[in-house]
Copies of this chain bind each other. A is one copy, B any other.
Amino acid sequence: MSKNITSQTLQRLPIYLNYLMSLSETIKSGNISATAIAGALGLNNVQVRKDLASISRGGRPRTGYVTAELISDIESFLGFENRDGVIVAGIGNFGRAMMCSESFSDYGFDVVCGFDCNQDIVGTSVNGKPVRHISEMKNFCLCENIKTGIITVPEKYAQEVCDIMTDSGIKYILNFASIHLNVPESVNVHNENISLTLAMLARCNFSENRS
């Protein structure tokens, strides 16, 4: 799997997939060109060609892509064949939002379980997914082979929860607590600091329609 894909390309993959899935069976069982996809989605021809080249077996001159192959290449890149279970630690408003988000599935993720230590929440379910006690995390993650976790606990608990996650075999952590987390070399962390993002936007004019 390419590690060099840009977030812009990654962001367009579900759009390509949704479009291809919406096509008639006739086209799905035939070929489609990058030009046709670009035209239908109002995207730049060259960009679409580059995007698809980075994740597919490639199109053929004149005939274009075998539609079914392209669909399966995108699905396989997005991890649809082997969807990744995701856990959420800290089931406050933020954690609930994560458990209710529909958009994770666009990238082959399923939020499968929430964890908290508040006995009023433990044993309940959010969006049809169970909330378990944080002490059950390790067993759950090892049994279910969970590699991805989201931390939405208050700052003061974040490192402790992070340690439990890494001890549970989690390799990818999306951290919403605004502290730096210490993790082993083998674990990847992304810190999502929303107030910092807002400050960059409103105090430093850092924004996407400007950049």
Interface residues of A (CB under 8 A from B): 1-5, 7, 10-11, 77-79, 84, 86, 92-94, 96-98, 100-101, 103-104, 106-109, 147-148, 150, 171-172, 174, 178, 183, 187-210
A190 B197 Cβ-Cβ under 8 A: yes
Contact with A190, one of B93, B107, B193, B201 (Cβ below 8 angstroms): B201
Shortest distance from the beta carbon of A42 to any chain B beta carbon, whole Å: 11
Q: Is the interface of A mostly helix, strand, loop or mixed?
A: mixed
In the complex, A208 Cα to B171 Cα: how many Å?
Answer: 13
- Counting chain B CB atoms within 10 Å of each CB, the highest count among A101, A197, A209 belongs to A209
**Chain B residues with Cβ under 8 A from A210's Cβ?**
188
Chain B residue numbers with a CB within 8 Å of A106 are 178, 195
In this complex, what residue of B is CB-closest to A86? B198
Could you tell me if A174 and B192 are in contact, using CB atoms closer than 8 angstroms? no
**A11, A96, A187, A192: residue with the most chain B Cβ atoms closer than 10 Å:** A11
Report B-chain residues with C-beta under 8 Å of the C-beta of A92: 97, 100
Query: Do A109 and B198 touch across chains, with their CB atoms under 8 A apart?
Result: yes
Of the candidates B78, B97, B189, B208, the one whose C-beta lies within 8 Å of that of A208 is: B189
Residue from A98, A150, A190, A195 with most neighbouring chain B CB atoms (10 Å): A195
B197 engages A101 (CB within 8 Å):
no
